[in-house]
Structure 1
Amino acid sequence: MIEIKDIFKTFGENEVLKGISAQFKPGKNNLIIGGSGSGKTTLLKCIVGLHEPTKGTVSFDGQEFTSMNFTERVPIRKEIGMLFQNSALFDSMTVEENIMFGLNLFTDQSRSEKLDRANFCLDRVNLKDRNKLYPSELSGGMKKRVGIARAIAMQPKYLFVDEPNSGLDPKTSILIDELIKELTEEYNITTVVVTHDMNSVMGIGDHILFLHQGQKWWEGTNKEIAHTDNKELNDFVFASKFMQAAKEKL
């Protein structure tokens, strides 16, 4: 479980996060949603240590991450998998080499063991035998799946995903959502997803945190979101659905 308590983040005079607290449980798809500038990506970066909170604490299974130094954080960071918005694959590396990147850095496994793990992960994301392709030879959806394979290669306890459906068509987006959901449940991962995609929210949102102007404005499940009387959340949901419907007609 990941627990955040009273997280503030300030850049100069700009207070981006204003006292956010929440718990993200294993085996659940925990979604952070909100409009542009609401603070959702900043919150994700504070949780994984890319930003240091101005105030507040982040704990991984009872271990207070925010109070640790760089060396003390290493064991937890080894248990973190990340899927970046643009997949962030290394263009000069093959699919296989991209997936093995973390294994080469952080394990003493033999090459055979690392290859076995890479092949397992590729098979798990339905990209069997694509080992020798380069990112330039992949579609957007395939790049996302390779990114997921790389993220799970280290068998993470915690998986962080930033806008997984950005730039994808609706059909591929659904496939990515289903894959994230399956992996989360199958391996009991604590998954945190930043998204603005309402299809993702309604499809896999076990636990949803809605941010508005840097504050936690609403918290609940995808079943509860349809019945909320929270005006700002309803405005966000309606606008998101309207924009999605418009895009699909183009």
Structure 2
Amino acid sequence: MIEVIDIQKSFGDNHVLKGITAEFEPGVTNLIIGGSGSGKTTLLKCMVGLHQPNEGRVLYDDRNFTEMNMEERIPIRQEIGMLFQNSALFDSMTVEQNLMFPLDMFTNKKRGEKKDRASEVLERVDLAGKNKLYPSELSGGMKKRVGIARAIVMNPKYLFCDEPNSGLDPRTSLLIDELIQEITEEYKITTIIVTHDMNSVMGIGEKILFLHKGEKWWEGSNQEITKTDNQELNDFVFASPLMEKLLR
């Protein structure tokens, strides 16, 4: 489980996060949603250590990540998988080499063991046999799946996904959502997804945290989100005429 307690973050006079407190449980798809400038990406960066909060704590299974120095954070960082918005694959490396990169960095496994692990996670994301391809030979959806495979190659306890459906067509987005949810449940990972995609919210939003102007404005499930009388949340949910038609 990951807990954030009274997280506050400012950049100069811009107070981006204003005391966010929330819990994110394992085996559940936890979504952070909100409009542009709501603070959702800043919150994610505070949680993984890319930003240092001005105040508050981030706890990984009761371990105070915020108070640790860089060296003390290494064991927790090794338990974190990241799926970046643009997949962030190395163009000069094959799919297999991309997957082996974190294993080379953080483990003492033999080369054969690393290759076996790469093949194992590729099979899990339905890309068996694609080891020797380069990113330029992959479709957008395949790149995302390779990104997911790399994120789970170290058997992480925590998985962070930043806009995983960005740039994908609706059908591929649905497949990526389903894959993330399956992996989360299968491995009991604490998964946190930053998104503005309402299809993802309604499809896999088991727990949803809605931020508005740097504050926690609402939290609940996708079963509850259409029944709320929270005006700001309703404005966000029903911003799309199609979504309004489907949900009203």
Same fold (TM over 0.5): yes
Residue-by-residue CA offset, 1:170-189 (whole Å, 9 max, x unaligned): 00000000000000000000
Aligned residues: 245
- Structure 2: 5+ residue runs without aligned partners? none
Question: Which letter does structure 1 place at the counterpart of 2:175?
Answer: L
Matched, 1:242 2:241: yes
Q: Which amino acid aligns with 1:63?
A: R
Q: Deviations over 1:45-94 (max 9, x none)?
A: 00000000011000000000000000100000000000000000001000
Q: How does 1:1-250 map to 2 (within 5 A)?
A: 1-239=1-239, 241-242=240-241
Q: Does the 8 A contact of 2:30 with 2:191 survive in 1?
A: yes
In 1, the alpha carbon distance for the partners of 2:223 and 2:99 equals: 35
Per-residue Cα deviation, 1:80-132 (whole angstroms, up to 9, x for no partner): 00000000000100000001100000000001100110000000000010011
TM-score by length of 2: 0.97
Q: Output one character per residue of 1:148-199: Cα deviation in whole Å (capped at 9) or x when no partner.
A: 0000000000000000000000000000000000000000000000000011
- Runs (4+) off by over 4 Å: none
Secondary structure of the equivalent of 2:37? coil
Amino acid at match of 1:111: R
How many angstroms apart in 2 are the aligned matches of 1:18 and 1:94?
A: 43
2: CA distance, partners of 1:242 / 1:168: 20
Given that 2:237 and 2:243 are in contact with CA atoms closer than 8 Å, whether structure 1 keeps it comes out as no
CA positional deviation for 1:225: 0.3
**Residues 1:123 and 1:244: Cα distance change in structure 2 (over 3 Å):** farther
Specify the SS of the correspondent of 1:191: strand
Which amino acid in 2 is paired with 1:118? A
Distance change >3 Å, CA 16–CA 203, structure 1 → 2 = same
What is the CA-CA distance between 1:242 and the residue it aligns to? Answer: 2.9
Distance 1:242 1:24 in 2: 31
Percent sequence identity is 72
Matched AA of 1:157? K
Report the AA paired with residue 81 of structure 2: G
Other structure's SS at 2:122 match = helix
- Determine the C-alpha separation between the residues in 1 that align with 2:243 and 2:44: 24
- CA–CA separation in structure 1 for the residues paired with 2:99 and 2:66: 29
Q: Secondary structure of 1:222's match?
A: coil
Question: Does the CA contact (< 8 Å) of 2:38 and 2:212 recur in 1?
Answer: yes
Distance 2:33 2:112 in 1: 41
Unaligned ranges ≥5, structure 1: 246-250
Q: Give the CA deviation at 1:243.
A: 6.9
SS in 2 for 1:67: coil
